[in-house]
Amino acid sequence: MSGEVLSQDPAALRRRIDSSKAHPARVYDVFLGGKDHYPADREAAAAALAANPRGYLDVRHNRDFLRRAVTALVGQDGIRQFLDIGTGLPTAQNVHQIAQRIAPESRVVYVDNDPVVLAHARALLTSGPEGRTDYVDADLRDPGRILEQAARTMDFGRPVALCLVAVLHFVADDEAYPLVRELLDALPPGSRLVLSHLTEDLNPENIRAVQRTYTERGFTFVLRTRAEVERFFTDSGLSIAEPGVVPAHRWRPDGAAPVPEQPGESFLAGLDEIEKVRYRDIADATDADINVYAGFGAKG
């Protein structure tokens, strides 16, 4: 656990929080049924859901892709280090929980720039005795700081899985590709890139409506084609693992997505639409529901 995290002044953290503006990490928290968000975040999530009533499937299947990818990397590829940038708020099935359940010695560094996430970092920093887990308070746009701070926990002489899951669509092209190249250039051969990204290739009308709700709130929100998503891998010479860059629900499905416990009908009837999302089963997703590409690649 890092001294930097422990030394954070709660009052200073509170001053950094602007609860009047939505933040991607907290909007994501709304869709995952979390409690660590503000009315502005809930309003943004509700607007996105109104624009695309099945849009919660993108969020939930994106999260389940991360579970499957980490499971495969640890169990099949022998990866023991993960750098998860844009991690968001703690939720079920965090990267360190998945990795250390299979290989207790795994090391995970989480990175986010939201002070609310930092305030909850203690919940993330709960490693088993054999592994290590840490948190870096930094922006994706500052890869130098991320790498410097992550080196306190990680051995950059050994392969690292760089996780950029549902974060790059918040970064414009002129920044996004150079940032990913800089991060990957610092990682040794055998490292991996785990990536998911929103696209308008699949169901353009729905996702463009969602895009409008975000851009109206001041977010950069870039929808990229499959070729543009693949470029994050190919620009750095990575080989893309099977089945390639595909819709998230089609990336090595294993049928193990958790089914939420279902409350009674009377309870559900008292909830608004955004509150009902946490109880929905995602197994009924079709190609007409998903707007997220996912994949991972290996550095030679």
Q: pLDDT per position in the chain (300 positions), as tens?
A: 333 443 456 666 666 766 778 777 777 777 777 777 778 888 888 888 888 888 889 988 999 999 999 999 999 999 999 999 998 777 768 899 999 999 999 999 999 988 777 777 766 667 778 899 999 999 999 999 999 999 999 999 999 999 999 999 999 999 999 999 999 999 999 999 999 999 999 999 989 988 998 888 888 899 999 999 999 999 999 999 999 999 999 999 998 877 778 888 888 888 888 888 888 888 889 999 999 999 999 999
- Please give the pLDDT value at position 146: 97
Q: What are the residues whose beta carbons fall under 8 Å from the beta carbon of 168, sequence distance 6 or more?
A: 176, 180, 195, 197, 222, 224, 232
Q: Where are the beta strands (DSSP E) in the chain?
A: 81-85, 107-112, 132-137, 161-165, 192-198, 239-240, 246-247, 292-298
17's tokens: 């929080």
- Please give the pLDDT value at position 10: 60
- Please give the pLDDT value at position 298: 98
- Please give the pLDDT value at position 75: 97
CA atoms of 256 and 259, how far apart (whole Å): 9
Residue located via tokens 């008292």: 270
Quote the DSSP letter at residue 238: P
- Please give the pLDDT value at position 121: 73
CA atoms of 106 and 154, how far apart (whole Å): 10
CA atoms of 25 and 53, how far apart (whole Å): 20
- Please give the pLDDT value at position 38: 79
User: C-alpha distances in angstroms, 88 versus 92, 118, 297?
Assistant: 12, 9, 23
CA atoms of 32 and 39, how far apart (whole Å): 16
pTM for the structure as a whole: 0.88
